[in-house]
Structure 1
Amino acid sequence: MKKFLLSLLVGVIIGGIICYVFMDYETSNYVIQDFNGQEEKEIKEWDFMYITQAGFIILAITLLFYFSWGVMEKRMDKDR
Protein backbone atom coordinates (compact mmCIF):
# COMPACT_ATOMS: atom_id res chain seq x y z
CA MET A 1 0.00 0.00 0.00
CA LYS A 2 2.86 2.36 0.85
CA LYS A 3 4.52 1.60 -2.49
CA PHE A 4 1.31 2.35 -4.41
CA LEU A 5 0.56 5.62 -2.60
CA LEU A 6 4.13 6.87 -2.91
CA SER A 7 4.15 5.96 -6.61
CA LEU A 8 0.89 7.84 -7.08
CA LEU A 9 2.27 10.88 -5.27
CA VAL A 10 5.43 10.87 -7.38
CA GLY A 11 3.33 10.46 -10.53
CA VAL A 12 1.13 13.41 -9.64
CA ILE A 13 4.09 15.65 -8.79
CA ILE A 14 6.35 14.77 -11.73
CA GLY A 15 3.44 14.38 -14.18
CA GLY A 16 1.99 17.68 -13.03
CA ILE A 17 5.30 19.43 -13.60
CA ILE A 18 5.65 17.86 -17.05
CA CYS A 19 2.10 18.89 -17.99
CA TYR A 20 2.62 22.43 -16.73
CA VAL A 21 5.91 22.91 -18.57
CA PHE A 22 5.33 21.11 -21.86
CA MET A 23 1.59 21.21 -22.54
CA ASP A 24 0.09 24.43 -23.83
CA TYR A 25 -3.13 24.99 -21.92
CA GLU A 26 -5.74 26.92 -23.88
CA THR A 27 -8.83 28.08 -22.07
CA SER A 28 -12.13 26.94 -23.52
CA ASN A 29 -14.06 29.91 -22.16
CA TYR A 30 -16.01 32.06 -24.57
CA VAL A 31 -18.04 35.26 -24.41
CA ILE A 32 -21.66 35.65 -25.50
CA GLN A 33 -22.74 39.19 -26.32
CA ASP A 34 -26.33 40.34 -26.05
CA PHE A 35 -27.89 41.74 -29.22
CA ASN A 36 -28.51 45.05 -27.47
CA GLY A 37 -24.78 45.31 -26.85
CA GLN A 38 -25.19 45.91 -23.13
CA GLU A 39 -24.49 42.60 -21.49
CA GLU A 40 -21.59 40.23 -22.05
CA LYS A 41 -21.67 36.83 -20.46
CA GLU A 42 -18.59 34.63 -20.15
CA ILE A 43 -19.20 30.89 -20.40
CA LYS A 44 -16.60 28.77 -18.62
CA GLU A 45 -16.01 25.18 -19.67
CA TRP A 46 -13.53 22.51 -18.73
CA ASP A 47 -10.89 21.55 -21.25
CA PHE A 48 -11.44 17.79 -21.38
CA MET A 49 -8.65 17.18 -23.90
CA TYR A 50 -6.10 18.76 -21.54
CA ILE A 51 -7.49 16.89 -18.52
CA THR A 52 -7.42 13.56 -20.39
CA GLN A 53 -3.90 14.01 -21.70
CA ALA A 54 -2.62 15.15 -18.33
CA GLY A 55 -4.28 12.15 -16.70
CA PHE A 56 -2.58 9.76 -19.11
CA ILE A 57 0.80 11.38 -18.49
CA ILE A 58 0.33 11.16 -14.72
CA LEU A 59 -0.79 7.52 -15.02
CA ALA A 60 2.21 6.65 -17.19
CA ILE A 61 4.67 8.28 -14.76
CA THR A 62 2.98 6.52 -11.83
CA LEU A 63 3.17 3.10 -13.49
CA LEU A 64 6.76 3.69 -14.60
CA PHE A 65 7.81 4.59 -11.06
CA TYR A 66 5.84 1.69 -9.54
CA PHE A 67 7.35 -0.97 -11.80
CA SER A 68 10.84 0.56 -11.57
CA TRP A 69 10.57 0.37 -7.80
CA GLY A 70 9.57 -3.32 -8.08
CA VAL A 71 12.57 -4.09 -10.28
CA MET A 72 14.91 -2.31 -7.86
CA GLU A 73 13.47 -4.27 -4.92
CA LYS A 74 14.03 -7.56 -6.75
CA ARG A 75 17.62 -6.65 -7.59
CA MET A 76 18.35 -5.62 -4.02
CA ASP A 77 16.85 -8.86 -2.68
CA LYS A 78 18.85 -10.85 -5.23
CA ASP A 79 22.10 -9.16 -4.18
CA ARG A 80 21.58 -10.01 -0.50
Structure 2
Amino acid sequence: MKKFILSLLGGVIIGGIICYIFMNYETSNYVIQDFNGHEEKEVKEWDFMYITQAGFIILGITLLFYFSWGIIEKRMDKDHKM
Protein backbone atom coordinates (compact mmCIF):
# COMPACT_ATOMS: atom_id res chain seq x y z
CA MET A 1 0.00 0.00 0.00
CA LYS A 2 2.87 2.33 0.84
CA LYS A 3 4.45 1.76 -2.58
CA PHE A 4 1.16 2.54 -4.35
CA ILE A 5 0.46 5.75 -2.41
CA LEU A 6 4.00 7.07 -2.79
CA SER A 7 4.06 6.20 -6.50
CA LEU A 8 0.75 7.99 -6.98
CA LEU A 9 1.98 11.02 -5.04
CA GLY A 10 5.22 11.13 -7.03
CA GLY A 11 3.31 10.76 -10.29
CA VAL A 12 0.98 13.60 -9.44
CA ILE A 13 3.82 15.91 -8.39
CA ILE A 14 6.24 15.13 -11.23
CA GLY A 15 3.46 14.76 -13.82
CA GLY A 16 1.87 18.00 -12.69
CA ILE A 17 5.17 19.84 -13.04
CA ILE A 18 5.75 18.35 -16.51
CA CYS A 19 2.22 19.29 -17.62
CA TYR A 20 2.61 22.82 -16.28
CA ILE A 21 5.98 23.38 -17.97
CA PHE A 22 5.58 21.61 -21.31
CA MET A 23 1.87 21.72 -22.13
CA ASN A 24 0.76 25.12 -23.38
CA TYR A 25 -2.54 25.58 -21.55
CA GLU A 26 -4.95 28.06 -23.10
CA THR A 27 -8.12 28.92 -21.29
CA SER A 28 -11.37 27.95 -22.97
CA ASN A 29 -13.34 30.78 -21.39
CA TYR A 30 -15.12 33.25 -23.64
CA VAL A 31 -17.06 36.48 -23.22
CA ILE A 32 -20.62 37.06 -24.40
CA GLN A 33 -21.59 40.67 -24.92
CA ASP A 34 -25.10 42.08 -24.84
CA PHE A 35 -26.43 43.61 -28.08
CA ASN A 36 -26.28 47.05 -26.49
CA GLY A 37 -22.70 46.46 -25.41
CA HIS A 38 -23.45 47.25 -21.78
CA GLU A 39 -23.31 43.84 -20.19
CA GLU A 40 -20.57 41.25 -20.59
CA LYS A 41 -20.81 37.72 -19.29
CA GLU A 42 -17.83 35.39 -19.08
CA VAL A 43 -18.58 31.74 -19.75
CA LYS A 44 -16.13 29.32 -18.15
CA GLU A 45 -15.67 25.86 -19.62
CA TRP A 46 -13.47 22.93 -18.73
CA ASP A 47 -10.77 22.02 -21.22
CA PHE A 48 -11.30 18.26 -21.46
CA MET A 49 -8.46 17.70 -23.94
CA TYR A 50 -5.96 19.23 -21.52
CA ILE A 51 -7.38 17.30 -18.56
CA THR A 52 -7.26 14.02 -20.50
CA GLN A 53 -3.70 14.52 -21.74
CA ALA A 54 -2.49 15.61 -18.30
CA GLY A 55 -4.21 12.58 -16.76
CA PHE A 56 -2.43 10.21 -19.15
CA ILE A 57 0.93 11.83 -18.41
CA ILE A 58 0.35 11.56 -14.65
CA LEU A 59 -0.83 7.95 -14.99
CA GLY A 60 2.22 7.05 -17.09
CA ILE A 61 4.66 8.56 -14.61
CA THR A 62 2.84 6.89 -11.71
CA LEU A 63 3.14 3.50 -13.41
CA LEU A 64 6.79 4.20 -14.21
CA PHE A 65 7.49 4.92 -10.54
CA TYR A 66 5.52 1.87 -9.37
CA PHE A 67 7.18 -0.65 -11.70
CA SER A 68 10.64 0.88 -11.25
CA TRP A 69 10.24 0.61 -7.49
CA GLY A 70 9.24 -3.07 -7.87
CA ILE A 71 12.30 -3.83 -10.03
CA ILE A 72 14.61 -2.10 -7.55
CA GLU A 73 13.06 -4.05 -4.64
CA LYS A 74 13.57 -7.36 -6.47
CA ARG A 75 17.21 -6.58 -7.23
CA MET A 76 17.90 -5.50 -3.64
CA ASP A 77 16.29 -8.70 -2.30
CA LYS A 78 18.31 -10.75 -4.78
CA ASP A 79 21.55 -9.05 -3.68
CA HIS A 80 20.79 -9.57 0.02
CA LYS A 81 20.12 -13.30 -0.46
CA MET A 82 23.56 -13.88 -1.91
Bucket of the pairwise TM-score, normalised by the shorter protein = over 0.9
- One-letter code aligned to 1:36: N
Please report the TM-score for the alignment, with normalisation by the length of structure 1. 0.98
Give me the whole-angstrom Cα distance separating, in 1, the residues matched to 2:37 and 2:78. Answer: 74
Structure 2: gaps (5+ residues): none
Where 2:41 maps in the other structure, the secondary structure is strand
Q: Deviations over 1:28-60 (max 9, x none)?
A: 000001111110110001111111100000000
2:25 — aligned with what?
A: 25
| Stretches (4+) displaced over 3 A | none
Q: Percent identity?
A: 88
Structure 1: which 5+ residue stretches go unaligned?
Answer: none
The CA RMSD measured in Å over matched residues stands at 0.5
Residue 7 of structure 1 is matched in structure 2 by 7
Give the match for residue 61 of structure 1: 61
Number of residues of Structure 1 aligned to a counterpart in Structure 2: 80
TM-score w.r.t. structure 2 length? 0.96
